[in-house]
Copies of this chain bind each other. A is one copy, B any other.
Amino acid sequence: MLTAGGCPKNMLSIKDALEALEGKWKLLILFSLSTGPRRFKQISKEVSGISDKTLSKELKSLEGNQLIKRDVQDSFPPTVNYSITEHGRSLEKVMEELHYWGLAHRRQIIGK
């Protein structure tokens, strides 16, 4: 079990992960992109509650961490698509566990 030893090295890797995923938006953006590439406005609509300014900042941070890719298409007018990378997809299990835990948390706290 991960926590049985309380190893500081485990804490370091969790810290790395939390810094790359900081805030409540990044995983939701990745979740939105997990079913296919999207344009800015589509992501903004799917991730309800996010402002354009925040979304723009979060997309840059995700790109910097190689979790998403930004493609400019040479059309008239040019269009920009965002897609999830292989490295972004590797967060699937984290998202899955968060999903299950979120359900349990709602039962425990919100839904009672």
One digit per residue, 1 when the CB lies within 8 angstroms of any chain B CB and 0 when it does not, for chain A 2-29 equals: 1111100011111111111011100110
A55 within 8 A of B: no
Are B65 and A109 in contact, CB atoms less than 8 angstroms apart?
Answer: yes
Task: State whether A18 and B24 are in contact (beta carbons under 8 Å apart), knowing that A34-B6, A93-B97, A105-B65 are contacts in the complex.
Answer: yes
Q: How far is the CA of A92 from the CA of B99 in the complex (A)?
A: 14
Copies of this chain, how many?
A: 2
State the interface size on chain A (CB cutoff 8 A).
51
- Considering only residues 94-112 of chain A, those with a C-beta below 8 Å from chain B are 94-106, 108-110
A66 within 8 A of B: yes
Are B66 and A108 in contact, CB atoms less than 8 angstroms apart?
Answer: yes
Are B106 and A34 in contact, CB atoms less than 8 angstroms apart?
Answer: no
